[in-house]
């Protein structure tokens, strides 16, 4: 889905700000049918949970309602009028003056409502957006709604981050001409000193199309006629990790020789390839250094925040991180655009986290329900997962920063049924995007010996917590476990292997001269132990520490006001380990250390 942009033929109005707000039940039976009867107002973009002091709002399970009045610009008489919701977590409904105009399931991908027939240029209308945060076994991510002893509806889920909800990203009113570009797909290649740009344009009705490629200074460097084709850029400037260069593809739709729609899609020319046990960007081996992140900040929850985006990127540059994974859901498009402009490499992950009932069994030793079954995660879950994957790739396919798709985090990949579940999804991902490698992160219970799906993917990504959940406080034993474990994957699959997660919860300010878990020294020693092991393997292609910053989770006896595995605190101050990582990663500078 194209991002709304203002161009010579398109306009947009940003609807962020303060909206009237109510949780379901507090604003009448049909809150969309009139002015919302409420004293509350909520900020957009922001998760609503931490905005208010009332626990009934923070822990609400079900629908909430946002409302504001919007004026359609008077010049839009002949345009199609669209509302674009960048994210409604996890389900959204858009009403224009009481009429349902669009609905969408999936909390981390955008959707649009065409409200042309419901509004008039120059006039105001009432825009109501309902958002539901419920997770079930047929949503991605999954969850279960239960009734507590006191009769309260409660949301259970298997993922380790707070189920923030609401309008966490921008909402737009935008116009498109009657005949317009509906999609653009760009795939780049390199031939000697030239870049090749294969493009496909889709339009709302059949119409002639022309394209031109502009360099960063606006100079035209290539052009072509037709809705698809390949253009060459001589003396191309490549997009490189740490050295971004972006071109613009300007797409124009014509009618009687006149441009009736114009849309600009930035792109970078670069190649990505897995060859043997190497991960190559522009034909050069790339070594990932960085983090699994979260969209998580105080007060805003998962609300997108440009200030944090800039600051987090600064901190990543400071520490020498060249990449991150969008654990555990697609991030705001602004984040990817920023990464495109700043040469940061991204592993783009779906929201499929928690497809694993073996975790609980593994930790408690008790028998668990099968993960892959019609009653737990079956065909309907798989269909939701496929829809979500489709939406993710449709949204993010043209970002040069995105070098790999991660289809799921820590699903139960060693359990019967995993292969049947993932094979069609892998096939779909490859059809939708033949240009990028794919991966899946393996949880602690899946090893080179018992994993049933790793061969379907291009890169083996493993998440490991030796020295934390296993051999806690005993780094010597942890080191042996880790080395054996990694060797198992490397020898079995002959693919590049990277660490998707490794880390230790750490309370800033807690210190010890011994290996005491939760101290700043232990975090550092724990990460250093991992680095010793990583550097022993030729096939090892990267290290993503868990996590960039401390983040909010649901309550639990193993969480102290959230997950504390951050290398930075939630307010982005470095813990001691940050300085060690900075020394290592700056020295590595995207290259693998020689095997020791
Ligand atoms: C994991 C998960 C991540 C958790 C992390 C932890 O394996 O992928 O979401 O937050 O472990 O800290 O337990």
CATH number for the domain spanning 332: value is 3.20.20.80
Catalytic: 410? yes
Would you say residue 368 has pLDDT above 70?
Answer: yes
Quickly state the pLDDT bin for 364 (edges 50, 70, 90): low
Would you say residue 503 has pLDDT above 70?
Answer: yes
Q: Is the same domain home to 111 and 150?
A: yes
**In a domain? residue 594:** no
pLDDT score, position 410: 97
Q: How many percent of the chain have pLDDT more than 90? A: 96
For residue 393, report the distance from its CA to the centre of ligand 1, in Å: 24
**In a domain? residue 3:** no
**In a domain? residue 533:** yes
Taking the C-alpha atoms of residue 142 and residue 353, their distance in angstroms, rounded to an integer, is 8
Would you say residue 365 has pLDDT above 90?
Answer: no
Catalytic: 491? no
Taking the C-alpha atoms of residue 295 and residue 450, their distance in angstroms, rounded to an integer, is 33
Would you say residue 210 has pLDDT above 70?
Answer: yes
Q: Which entry of 410, 415, 520, 543 is annotated as an active-site residue?
A: 410
Q: Is the same domain home to 304 and 387?
A: yes
Taking the C-alpha atoms of residue 554 and residue 562, their distance in angstroms, rounded to an integer, is 7
Q: Which of 294, 326, 501, 503 to mutate to test the pocket of ligand 1 (most atoms within 8 A of CB)?
A: 501
pLDDT score, position 363: 61
For residue 403, report the distance from its CA to the centre of ligand 1, in Å: 23
Q: Which atom of ligand 1 is nearest to the CA of 409?
A: 8
Q: Which atom of ligand 1 is nearest to the CA of 327?
A: 9
Express each pLDDT in 272-310 by its tens digit: 999 999 999 999 999 999 999 999 999 999 999 999 999
For residue 483, report the distance from its CA to the centre of ligand 1, in Å: 20
Q: Which of 158, 160, 355, 547 to mutate to test the pocket of ligand 1 (most atoms within 8 A of CB)?
A: 160
Structural domain total, the chain = 3
Q: Which atom of ligand 1 is nearest to the CA of 159?
A: 9
pLDDT score, position 596: 63
**In a domain? residue 82:** yes
For residue 12, report the distance from its CA to the centre of ligand 1, in Å: 39
Q: Which entry of 333, 501, 520, 543 is annotated as an active-site residue?
A: 501
Quickly state the pLDDT bin for 361 (edges 50, 70, 90): low
Express each pLDDT in 123-177 by its tens digit: 999 999 999 999 999 999 999 999 999 889 999 999 999 999 999 999 999 999 9
Question: What residues flank ligand 1, with Cβ below 6 Å?
Answer: 160, 328, 409-410, 463, 501, 546, 563, 565
Q: Is the same domain home to 480 and 492?
A: yes
Residue nearest to atom 2 of ligand 1 (CA): 160
Report the first-to-last Cα separation within the chain, whole angstroms.
Answer: 46
Of 43, 187, 39, 171, the closest CA to residue 112 belongs to 171
Q: Is the same domain home to 415 and 466?
A: yes
Give the sheet arrangement for strand 220-225, strand by strand: 220-225, 209-214, 247-255, 258-267
Q: Which atom of ligand 1 is nearest to the CA of 328?
A: 9
Would you say residue 111 has pLDDT above 70?
Answer: yes
Q: Is the same domain home to 223 and 280?
A: no
pLDDT score, position 27: 87
Pairing status of strand 288-292 against strand 459-463: unpaired
How far from the centroid of its chain's Cα atoms is residue 460's Cα?
Answer: 19
Residue nearest to atom 5 of ligand 1 (CA): 160
Quickly state the pLDDT bin for 367 (edges 50, 70, 90): confident
Contact 269, 236 (CB under 8 A): yes
Q: Is the same domain home to 351 and 378?
A: yes
Q: Is the same domain home to 460 and 530?
A: yes
Of 83, 160, 75, the closest CA to residue 128 belongs to 83
**Mean pLDDT of the 543-571 span:** 97
CATH number at residue 208: 2.60.40.10
Q: For the CA atoms of 134, 137, 142, 145, what is the dihedral angle to 10 degrees?
A: 40
Taking the C-alpha atoms of residue 132 and residue 144, their distance in angstroms, rounded to an integer, is 14
Q: Which residue has the higher pLDDT, 545 or 151?
A: 545
Quickly state the pLDDT bin for 575 (edges 50, 70, 90): very high
Residue nearest to atom 10 of ligand 1 (CA): 160
Record the tokens describing residue 37, joined without a space: 């009867």
Among candidate residues 176, 199, 225, the one where a domain is terminated: 176
Assign 83 to helix, strand or coil. Answer: strand
CATH number at residue 139: 2.60.120.260
Quickly state the pLDDT bin for 362 (edges 50, 70, 90): low
pLDDT score, position 594: 76
For residue 563, report the distance from its CA to the centre of ligand 1, in Å: 9
Express each pLDDT in 7-19 by its tens digit: 999 999 999 999 9
**In a domain? residue 7:** no
Of 331, 328, 329, 326, the closest CA to residue 345 belongs to 326
**Mean pLDDT of the 331-360 span:** 96
Contact 410, 356 (CB under 8 A): yes
Among candidate residues 255, 270, 285, the one where a domain is terminated: 270
Express each pLDDT in 229-254 by its tens digit: 999 999 999 999 999 999 999 999 99
Q: Which of 469, 527, 546 to mutate to test the pocket of ligand 1 (most atoms within 8 A of CB)?
A: 546
- Which structural domain, as residue segments, surrounds residue 458? 273-588
* Bridge partners, residue 132, by sequence: 63, 91
Q: Is the same domain home to 438 and 351?
A: yes
Taking the C-alpha atoms of residue 265 and residue 62, their distance in angstroms, rounded to an integer, is 37
Residue nearest to atom 6 of ligand 1 (CA): 160
Express each pLDDT in 372-410 by its tens digit: 999 999 999 999 999 999 999 999 999 999 999 999 999
For residue 108, report the distance from its CA to the centre of ligand 1, in Å: 19
Q: Is the same domain home to 168 and 257?
A: no
Of 125, 179, 181, 176, the closest CA to residue 12 belongs to 176
Q: Is the same domain home to 378 and 439?
A: yes
Would you say residue 360 has pLDDT above 90?
Answer: no
For residue 327, report the distance from its CA to the centre of ligand 1, in Å: 10
Of 431, 442, 441, 435, the closest CA to residue 403 belongs to 435
**In a domain? residue 98:** yes
- Report the predicted TM-score, pTM, of the whole model to 2 decimal places: 0.98
DSSP-derived secondary structure for 287-336:
-EEEEE----BTTTBT---HHHHHHHHHHHHHHT--EEE-TTSPPPHHHH
Express each pLDDT in 422-435 by its tens digit: 999 999 999 999 99
pLDDT score, position 447: 97
Cα 42 to Cα 23, 63, 117: the distances in Å are 11, 15, 28
Q: Is the same domain home to 530 and 398?
A: yes
Among candidate residues 270, 291, 311, the one where a domain is terminated: 270
For residue 160, report the distance from its CA to the centre of ligand 1, in Å: 6
**In a domain? residue 595:** no
Q: Which atom of ligand 1 is nearest to the CA of 463?
A: 7
Quickly state the pLDDT bin for 337 (edges 50, 70, 90): very high
Q: Which atom of ligand 1 is nearest to the CA of 505?
A: 12
Q: Is the same domain home to 422 and 455?
A: yes
Q: Which atom of ligand 1 is nearest to the CA of 565?
A: 12
For residue 316, report the distance from its CA to the centre of ligand 1, in Å: 20
Helix ranges (DSSP H) in 320-461: 333-342, 358-364, 379-396, 418-432
**In a domain? residue 264:** yes
pLDDT score, position 592: 87
């Amino acid at each position: 889905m194209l991002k709304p942009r203002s161009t010579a033929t398109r306009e947009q109005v940003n609807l962020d700000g303060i909206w009237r707000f109510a949780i379901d039940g507090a604003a009448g039976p049909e809150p969309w049918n009139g002015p919302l009867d409420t004293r509350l107002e909520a900020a957009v973009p922001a998760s609503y949970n931490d905005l208010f002091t009332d626990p009934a709002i923070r822990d609400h399970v079900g629908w909430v309602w946002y409302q504001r009045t919007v004026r359609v610009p008077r010049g839009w008489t002949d345009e199609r009028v669209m509302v674009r919701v960048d994210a409604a977590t996890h389900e959204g409904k858009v009403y224009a003056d009481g009429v349902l105009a669009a609905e969408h399931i999936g909390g981390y991908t955008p959707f649009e409502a065409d409200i042309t027939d419901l509004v008039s240029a120059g006039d105001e209308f009432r825009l109501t957006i309902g958002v539901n945060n419920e997770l079930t076994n047929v949503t991605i991510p999954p969850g279960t709604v239960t009734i507590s002893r006191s009769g309260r509806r409660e949301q259970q889920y298997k993922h380790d981050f707070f189920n923030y909800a609401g309008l966490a990203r921008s909402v737009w009113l935008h116009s498109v001409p009657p005949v317009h570009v509906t999609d653009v797909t760009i795939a780049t290649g390199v031939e000697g000193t030239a870049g090749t740009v294969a493009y496909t344009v889709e339009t709302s009705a059949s119409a002639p199309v022309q394209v031109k490629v502009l360099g960063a200074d606006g100079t035209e460097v290539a052009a072509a006629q037709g809705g698809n084709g390949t253009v060459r850029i001589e003396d191309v400037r490549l997009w490189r990790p740490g050295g971004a260069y972006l071109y613009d593809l300007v797409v124009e739709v014509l009618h009687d020789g006149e441009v009736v729609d114009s849309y600009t899609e930035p792109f970078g020319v670069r190649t990505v390839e897995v060859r043997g046990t190497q991960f190559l960007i522009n034909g050069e081996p790339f070594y990932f250094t960085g983090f699994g992140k979260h969209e998580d900040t105080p007060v805003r929850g998962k609300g997108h925040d440009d200030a944090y985006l800039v600051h987090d990127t600064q901190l990543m540059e400071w520490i020498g991180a060249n990449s991150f994974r969008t654990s555990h859901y697609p991030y705001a498009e602004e984040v990817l655009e920023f990464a495109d402009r700043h040469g940061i490499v991204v592993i783009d992950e779906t929201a499929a986290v928690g497809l694993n009932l073996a975790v609980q069994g593994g930790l408690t030793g008790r028998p668990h329900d099968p993960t892959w079954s019609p009653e737990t995660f079956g065909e309907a879950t798989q269909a939701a997962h496929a829809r979500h994957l489709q939406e993710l790739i449709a949204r993010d396919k043209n970002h040069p920063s995105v070098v790999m798709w991660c289809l799921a985090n820590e699903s139960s990949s060693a359990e019967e049924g995993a292969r049947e579940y993932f094979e069609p999804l892998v096939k779909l991902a490859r059809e939708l995007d033949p240009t990028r490698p794919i991966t899946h992160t393996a949880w602690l219970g899946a090893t080179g010996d018992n994993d049933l799906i790793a061969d379907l993917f291009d890169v083996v990504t493993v998440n490991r917590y030796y020295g934390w959940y296993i051999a806690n406080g005993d780094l010597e034993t942890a080191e042996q476990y880790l080395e054996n474990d990694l060797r198992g994957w490397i020898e079995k699959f002959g693919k590049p292997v990277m660490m998707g997660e490794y880390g230790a919860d750490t309370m800033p300010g807690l210190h010890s001269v011994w290996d005491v878990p939760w101290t700043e020294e232990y975090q550092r020693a724990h990460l250093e132990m991992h680095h010793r092991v990583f550097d022993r393997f030729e096939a090892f292609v990267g290290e993503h520490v868990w996590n960039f910053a401390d983040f909010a989770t649901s309550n639990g006896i193993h969480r102290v006001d959230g997950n504390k595995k951050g290398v930075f605190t939630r307010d982005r101050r470095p813990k001691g380990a940050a300085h060690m990582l900075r020394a290592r990663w700056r020295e590595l500078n995207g290259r693998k250390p020689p095997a020791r």
